[in-house]
Amino acid sequence: MSLTISVRRGTEADLPGVHALIVELAVYEKAPNEVSNTIEDMRRDGFGEKPIFEFFVAESPEEGIVGIALYYTAYSTWKGKMLFLEDIVVTERHRRKGIGRLLFNQVVKAAKEEDYKRMKWQVLDWNEPAINFYRSIGANLDGEWINCNLTAEQLRRF
């Protein structure tokens, strides 16, 4: 069976399917208990008074949402407005079929249309398929920067 895929901007009605893919990603990244984000959180943060993220979905008429690309605007003191691609997720049974590339292309198109000065994202060092894809498109894989973060608990204690 050939899967027909279309990519479109995500809507509030897509959030249950988007959240399910986020949970699937956490399992893939060996962190199944780390997702604390809820559909309600996503509704508020993506469609509330001050939306802070946008997304695209890849869907098929037969199966519904099979992939997502979620991104937001960040700001570089050196470059200005920057698009940060948080995640591309394709459901496991449809990986390696070009769906991730379709989603990535749509995010790049949005970055160009909205005049972003840079696009950034991260990839886990063990995710060879993603690393190989990013190399194939000529992306810079920067080993110089160290990722830093504070958890919600660390923020409370600070």
105 is a domain residue: yes
Q: Check whether 1 has a pLDDT greater than 60.
A: no
- Catalytic residue numbers read 134
Strands laid side by side in the 80-90 sheet: 6-9, 54-60, 64-76, 80-90, 118-121
131 is a domain residue: yes
Q: What is the C-alpha separation between 32 and 147, in angstroms, rounded?
A: 21
Work out the widest C-alpha separation in the chain, in whole angstroms: 54
pLDDT at 24: 94
Q: Which residue is associated with the tokens 């893919």?
A: 21
Q: Which domain holds residue 65?
A: 6-157
79 is a domain residue: yes
Tally of domains in the chain:
1
Question: 4 and 61 in contact (C-beta within 8 Å)?
Answer: yes
32 is a domain residue: yes
Encode pLDDT of 88-142 as tens digits.
999 999 999 999 999 999 999 999 999 999 999 999 898 899 999 999 999 999 9
Q: What is the mean pLDDT of residues 152-157?
A: 92
104 is a domain residue: yes
pTM, to two decimals: 0.92
Strands (E), the chain: 6-9, 54-60, 64-76, 80-90, 118-121
33 is a domain residue: yes
CATH of the domain at 33: 3.40.630.30
16 is a domain residue: yes
pLDDT at 146: 83
More confident residue, 126 or 9: 9
Q: Check whether 20 has a pLDDT greater than 70.
A: yes
Q: What is the mean pLDDT of residues 37-65?
A: 97
1 is a domain residue: no
Which residue type does 3 have? L
